[in-house]
Structure 1
Amino acid sequence: MRERSEADRLITKIVVVATMGALAFGYDTGVIAGALPFMQHPISEGGLGLTPLTEGLVTSSLVVGAAFGSLLCGNLADRFGRRDSLMGLSVVFMMGAIGTALAPSIAFMTLMRFVLGFAVGGASALVPMFISEMAPPGRRGRLVSQNEMMIVTGQLVAYVLSALLARFSGSSEIWRTMLMIAAVPAILLGVGLIFVPRSPRWLASHGRIEEAEEVLTLIRSSDKQVRKELTAIGMQVDQETEQVGWRQALSEVWMRRLLMLGISLGFVAQFTGVNAFMYFTPIILRETGLGVQATLIATIGNGLVAVGATFAALWMIGRFPRRLTLMCGLAGVVLAHVGLGATLLLLHGSPIESFVALGFILFALLFIQMMVSPLYWLLMSELFPMHVRGALTGLSVSAQWLFNATVAFLFPVLLHAIGPGTFFAFAVINAISLAVVARFLPETKGRTLEQLETYLKNHFSDEEGASGRKESLLNIAADKNAMLEHKVV
């Protein structure tokens, strides 16, 4: 019997190191808001001479790169391992950060933002996966959700540092410093991973059973836990020896349904409008007559609410079912969009319009960051079978980044064209998302990854249609058991 605290300390170290990738992810997606105003200056004045068109190009190139990164890095993670792939991404992060900070032209900046986006996308797929495979089953939800905490923390750090640097620096090229800071979490990620073990599940899936046992011995508090988990992993590996790739895996109906669920969850997460608020809150509030300085302060408010909501999510995830939490979050988002649309429609020109609108924006972000976004990343780390987890997670997360780009592109166009109707449209979309989650998402809480794989295979198999009513009852029972599980764990 080992000291529980020793294993817990190692797990904590692993999570802290791995989430440096999430911190870099958050910082890189948030810092562009502070850098763009300086990059709009002519080259002779220290900027890059961005026009509205090239501003959109520079901003969106990171999202496009992220879609490619999450897609390709998932396959690399299955082949070379989660830890080693993250180490490679840390180098790409550094290259992108340094490249954007030193960019002499718009073309070079766009290229380096794409490179940086590749690392962001790869980290978005690999960090939750790596943590889920290292975490004890009873702590998996909370530990994986710390990924979301570090993302929103990175965004908040970007907003605050950008505001401070802009306020106290007299340099017209301060945007280069803003972008260079992104290299710091990348360095911490790369150096920290040297001292972190590989995933025992990935080692076992490549026949390295003894190494897998050594890692489990380090991160579990008893020999009994090690034996039990290693046996379950070994049985799963034996069942999958004939399955050599994700293309072959997708020949099975249940696997295709699972992938479609993963892609659908990306749509659900992005069409909450989370990034419409994170990117365009100043534009929304300017429509209400709020001044420029006030809108920048409100953007920092977005970051503060996101961090606070994610703290609440860490507490909730260990206590409530995933499915129920996600449904409640979407219900809150529907109400927030209806309220925001009604505010802009009915209170237009009123002196309180700005404050009420901001209140509904923060209300939406509270539900999104507390009940939707953390659940999305957690489910991405749980849903897919071990031997194709990297590839299918990569496909799903890549689709999520494309949905991100779609929202970012369409939102300002719709806001200009139909005004408050934009938020009523979001409300309808989220109501549909709520119905889809209620109908198709099974409960994943309270099972090991190996138990979950067997359960999902049965749930999405061809035989499921013949026992739909029975499966629904089982889902209800699973929800009830999951709600009580924290009293036992």
Structure 2
Amino acid sequence: MATGDLTQSRVTSYLIYLVFVTTLGPLQFGYHLAELNAPQAVVTCEKKSVHSSAPYGLPQCLPMTPSQFGLVSSIYTLGGLVGALLAGPVSTKYGRRFALRATTVFFILGPVAETLAPAIPLLALGRFLSGVGSGAAIVVGPIYVSEISPPESRGFFGAFTQVMTNVGILLTQTLGYFWSRDSLWRIILAVAGVIGALELLGLLMVPESPAWLVDNHQLSQARKVLQRIRGRDADIGAEIEIWRTAGAAPASGEEESLLAPPAGNQIPKQSVTIMQAIRDPYYRPAIIAVMGVMIAQQFTGVNSIIMYSVSLLQSILPTTAALLTVGISALNLIITLACSPLPDRIGRKTCLLLSIGGMGCSSVLLALGMQFDQKIVSATAALLFVACFAVGLGPVPFILASELVGPEAVGAAQSCALAANWTATFIVAQFFPILNDSLGGHGKVYWIFAVMAGFLGCFIYRWVPETKGKANADEVWGRVDRRQD
């Protein structure tokens, strides 16, 4: 059977449903990331209307200095860091499904606090709670999607983490374009709570990850779940055996006969904690690789566009900055969708190198365009910048953790990766406006992003291996499983 036929036969409507519901978490990650971009002037009372209050006696706006607004924006990333650190151990111990459901509690409570905030502290608390949910969802969601996807299509389905993140960004930027007036900004924040409630309902029909079930010695249940995902006529024996061998899970006599020869002299692998993964030379190269790629995703400057594009471009595009932001978000989504097959076709590493190279060149172009007040050049550079991000640095980092380590360490690796990502996001969110102002504006900060792109591109070339077409982490790193004698 050809690969295309095999892929087609194993992509069921139930699989698509599971991927969609699971990636509602990344959608909310993107939504909250950009929700204050367009309405910034209205939220901070910089731009006031004739109405003085919102419904239910809430103030129309919350007076804030730029530093206070920066704190409210960036505290979301601190919540994300907490969520990312907690999600790995929780999903490893209690299961992916439990962890996914837990994120929805924060996705509901956070927007409620933000929407009803009468003052800055409650708005900040809501942003923090939303960040906890987002940080956890971005850890667990890609793991779950990778574990339920057919091996030959994991790159394609893995890209939907970034696709849905972009859907969330586009949705909130579009709502912001129309509702950034009066007290309507509160409705923008409330919409996220509705999405969180819908995700909770959708997760009621989502089963536990079959890979997690195998790793926790529940082979019979894993077979039932995987058979439902792949379809009644699909042959799942080989896929189950790969997981069973990777985890050295014991099987009953009946299950052994249905699968393959026993693992023989292998011993079970225990779940790996974050500190064990960092200290162990067996896992350390993977931890360095996934953390480095996540840092590259942020330190090349994409969130300077996503979080601050309206205020950044206002000086040279005073009438079209908000609309251009919507266009940037739409282009980001379109390119991500169009390029989603690329990681499986040309490889993860190639996508990363093409992406970071393009972003570095776009940073130079954006810096020149803003420095010399060239509106068309600046707008084009901003669009190219985000388009290049969507080719590789957007989707690929979320795929790598589950491909560079075995199932016993995926939670730890993903938590390390997302902790690095959220820390880098906080640094960009908190200090980009300050650095931009201290350099006198005019896009000079993008020279720094261009240099970072060059440096981090060299890191990816040297330290990140290709995972395309590799069956497991040992094959990726070219080593022998250390469980074997």
Question: What TM-score, normalized by structure 2, do the two folds share?
Answer: 0.87
How much has 1:406 moved relative to structure 2?
1.1
Please list the CA deviations of residues 1-31 of structure 1 after superposition, one character each: whole Å capped at 9, or x if unmatched: x997686111111111111112211211121
Structure 2 residue matching 1:445: 3-state secondary structure: coil
Structure 2 residue matching 1:160: 3-state secondary structure: helix
Letter paired with 1:382:
E
Question: Corresponding residue for 1:192?
Answer: 202
* Consecutive unaligned residues in structure 2, runs of 5 or more: 1-5, 54-58, 249-265
Q: Distance in 2 between matches of 1:341 and 1:242?
A: 50
Question: Corresponding residue for 2:468?
Answer: 445
Letter paired with 2:314:
R
What are the within-5 Å matches in structure 2 for residues 159-170 of structure 1? 159-166=173-180
Change (3 A) 1:423 1:12: same
Match of 1:38 among 23, 38, 42: 42
Question: Corresponding residue for 1:264?
Answer: 292
Question: Corresponding residue for 1:84?
Answer: 98
What are the within-5 Å matches in structure 2 for residues 52-201 of structure 1? 52-166=66-180, 172-201=182-211
Letter paired with 1:47:
C
Structure 2 residue matching 1:182: 3-state secondary structure: helix
1:431 aligns with 2:457: no
* Consecutive unaligned residues in structure 1, runs of 5 or more: 463-489
Question: Corresponding residue for 2:395?
Answer: 374
Letter paired with 2:268:
T
Please list the CA deviations of residues 192-228 of structure 1 after superposition, one character each: whole Å capped at 9, or x if unmatched: 1111111011111111111111111112247673111
How much has 1:306 moved relative to structure 2?
0.8
Please list the CA deviations of residues 120-179 of structure 1 after superposition, one character each: whole Å capped at 9, or x if unmatched: 111111111110000001111111111111111111111111222236xxxx32222111
Q: Distance in 1 between matches of 2:481 and 2:224?
A: 35
Letter paired with 1:201:
A
8 Å contact from structure 2 (residues 92, 271) kept in 1: no
Change (3 A) 1:461 1:23: same
Letter paired with 2:15:
I
Match of 1:245 among 265, 272, 278: 272
Structure 2 residue matching 1:50: 3-state secondary structure: coil
Letter paired with 2:450:
A
Q: Distance in 1 between matches of 2:180 and 2:310?
A: 17
How much has 1:284 moved relative to structure 2?
3.1
Structure 2 residue matching 1:405: 3-state secondary structure: helix
8 Å contact from structure 2 (residues 80, 422) kept in 1: yes
* Number of residue pairs aligned between Structure 1 and Structure 2: 447
Question: Corresponding residue for 1:307?
Answer: 333
How much has 1:313 moved relative to structure 2?
1.8
How much has 1:188 moved relative to structure 2?
1.8
Please list the CA deviations of residues 16-50 of structure 1 after superposition, one character each: whole Å capped at 9, or x if unmatched: 11111122112111212234333223986522222
Change (3 A) 1:460 1:402: farther
Letter paired with 1:187:
A
How much has 1:275 moved relative to structure 2?
0.4
1:21 aligns with 2:44: no
Change (3 A) 1:414 1:4: closer
Identity %: 27
Q: Distance in 1 between matches of 2:63 and 2:445?
A: 31
How much has 1:417 moved relative to structure 2?
2.9
Stretches of 4+ aligned residues off by more than 6 angstroms: none
8 Å contact from structure 2 (residues 37, 308) kept in 1: no
Change (3 A) 1:224 1:231: farther
Letter paired with 1:434:
G
**CA RMSD, 1 decimal:** 2.4
How much has 1:254 moved relative to structure 2?
2.6
8 Å contact from structure 2 (residues 366, 381) kept in 1: yes
How much has 1:229 moved relative to structure 2?
1.1
8 Å contact from structure 1 (residues 309, 370) kept in 2: yes
How much has 1:397 moved relative to structure 2?
0.5
Match of 1:254 among 282, 302, 310: 282
Question: Corresponding residue for 1:485?
Answer: none
Q: Distance in 2 between matches of 1:375 and 1:58?
A: 29
Please list the CA deviations of residues 240-273 of structure 1 after superposition, one character each: whole Å capped at 9, or x if unmatched: 6243432444442131121111111111111121
Question: Corresponding residue for 1:333?
Answer: 359
Structure 1 residue matching 2:268: 3-state secondary structure: coil
8 Å contact from structure 2 (residues 474, 480) kept in 1: no
Letter paired with 1:445:
K
Question: Corresponding residue for 2:243?
Answer: 233
Change (3 A) 1:461 1:76: same
How much has 1:317 moved relative to structure 2?
2.8
8 Å contact from structure 2 (residues 96, 144) kept in 1: yes
8 Å contact from structure 1 (residues 68, 121) kept in 2: yes
8 Å contact from structure 1 (residues 243, 249) kept in 2: no
8 Å contact from structure 2 (residues 363, 450) kept in 1: yes
How much has 1:438 moved relative to structure 2?
1.2
Question: Corresponding residue for 2:254?
Answer: none
How much has 1:67 moved relative to structure 2?
0.9
Please list the CA deviations of residues 71-92 of structure 1 after superposition, one character each: whole Å capped at 9, or x if unmatched: 1111111111111110111121
How much has 1:331 moved relative to structure 2?
1.2
How much has 1:384 moved relative to structure 2?
2.7
Question: Corresponding residue for 2:475?
Answer: 455
Letter paired with 1:297:
L
Q: Distance in 1 between matches of 2:215 and 2:457?
A: 36
Match of 2:311 among 283, 288, 291: 283
Structure 2 residue matching 1:225: 3-state secondary structure: coil
Match of 2:65 among 51, 68, 72: 51
How much has 1:365 moved relative to structure 2?
0.6
Question: Corresponding residue for 1:316?
Answer: 342
Please list the CA deviations of residues 269-300 of structure 1 after superposition, one character each: whole Å capped at 9, or x if unmatched: 11121001112223332343x21x32111111
Structure 2 residue matching 1:318: 3-state secondary structure: helix
8 Å contact from structure 2 (residues 37, 309) kept in 1: no
Change (3 A) 1:7 1:298: closer
